[in-house]
């Protein structure tokens, strides 16, 4: 039933970029693309479940796409997250986000990184890129979750993904094979891609001045 519900949703190719906030192993076969807000209760519940998957399931990683606002606190927060990600790694970023979501709002100020170097400000670039991702994928609310490009069915909890990894991987392989066949039919003179080959997308990397 899970596979059928997943397959009934439209497949959207959401390729991570070089600026993506990838939590977990970059080589995992299942990517959960999570459109999240850092200030909503349902997103807190979603992230707790996502962290549980990262802790218990090596086949899964999370591409976290946060909505970014223009106020000073939001700018500080997104810069803190990316500074931790770039200097301390994804594991400590997961811990930071988990602690952030589980701390009362009035006490969250203590989490802002105080030692970010002068000039480290990725907020504008991340805000623009993430906003484009929301618009391109028609995401209007958070949390919105995709699993290997399929919108996650609301009939299940996110933590249930752990029990359906084989089904998700099989569906992904079927989709790649079907897409390859369609391309071959459209251009019979072009050689098909070898099995397991996925084209790389290029995008500008964050550069600090």
Q: Tell me what pLDDT residue 206 has.
A: 52
Q: What is the pLDDT of residue 169?
A: 94
The answer as to whether 197 is a domain residue is: no
Q: What is the pLDDT of residue 111?
A: 86
Q: What are the phi and psi torsion angles at 30 (to 5°)? A: -120, 120
3-state secondary structure 21-72: EEEECCCCCEEEEEEECCCCHHHHHHHHHHHHHHHHCCCEEEEEEECCCCCH
Structure confidence by residue, pLDDT tens digits, 26-42: 899 999 999 999 999 99
Residue 206 falls inside a structural domain: no
User: What's the pLDDT at 180?
Assistant: 47
Low-confidence ranges of the chain (pLDDT < 50): 180-184, 196-205, 207-209
- Domain with 111, as residue range(s), is 2-186
Q: State pTM to two decimals.
A: 0.83
Distance, in Å, from the CA atom of 84 to the CA atom of 74, rounded to the nearest integer, reads: 15
Give the pLDDT score at 10.
Answer: 86
Three-state SS for 84?
Answer: helix
Query: What's the length of the chain?
Result: 209
Q: Is residue 118 part of a domain?
A: yes
Task: Please report the pLDDT score of residue 201 as a whole number.
Answer: 43
Asked if residue 203 belongs to a domain, the reply is no
CA 163, CA 165: separation in Å to the nearest integer?
6
pLDDT at 113: 77
pLDDT digits 0-9 by tens, 72-93: 999 999 999 999 999 999 999 9
Q: What is the chain's Cα-based Rg?
A: 18
CATH at residue 150:
3.40.30.10
In a domain, 207, yes or no: no
Cα(209)–Cα(195) distance, integer angstroms: 41
Closest CA relative to residue 62, chosen from 83, 39, 85, 78: 85
Q: How far is CA 9 from CA 35, 49, 64, 147, in A?
A: 17, 22, 21, 11
In a domain? residue 193 = no
Sheet strands side by side (includes 60-66): 21-24, 60-66, 30-36, 144-147, 150-151
Residue 123 lies in a domain: yes
CA distance 32 to 10: 15
Supply the pLDDT for residue 112.
Answer: 84
Domain count, the chain: 1
pLDDT for position 202? 40
Give a yes or no: residue 10 inside a domain: yes
pLDDT of residue 114: 80
Q: What is the pLDDT of residue 110?
A: 87
Which helix or strand (DSSP H or E) is residue 145 part of? strand 144-147
């Amino acid at each position: 039933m899970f596979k059928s519900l997943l397959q009934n949703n439209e497949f959207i190719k959401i390729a991570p970029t070089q600026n993506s906030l990838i939590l977990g192993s970059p080589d995992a076969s299942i990517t959960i693309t999570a459109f999240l807000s850092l200030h909503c209760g349902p997103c807190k519940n979603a992230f707790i479940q996502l962290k549980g998957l990262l802790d218990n399931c090596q086949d899964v990683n999370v591409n976290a796409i946060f909505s970014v606002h223009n106020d000073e606190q939001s700018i500080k927060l997104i810069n803190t997250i990316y500074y931790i990600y770039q200097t301390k790694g994804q594991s400590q970023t997961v811990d930071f986000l988990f602690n952030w979501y589980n701390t009362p709002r009035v006490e969250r100020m203590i989490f802002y990184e105080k030692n970010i170097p002068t000039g480290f400000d990725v907020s504008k670039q991340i805000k623009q890129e993430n906003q484009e991702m929301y618009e391109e994928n028609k995401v209007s609310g958070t949390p919105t979750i995709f699993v290997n490009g399929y919108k996650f069915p609301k009939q299940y909890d996110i933590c249930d993904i752990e029990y359906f990894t084989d089904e998700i991987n099989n569906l992904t392989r079927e989709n790649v094979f079907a897409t390859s066949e369609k391309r071959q039919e459209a251009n019979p003179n072009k050689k098909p891609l070898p099995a397991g080959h996925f084209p790389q997308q290029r995008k500008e990397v964050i550069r600090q001045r």
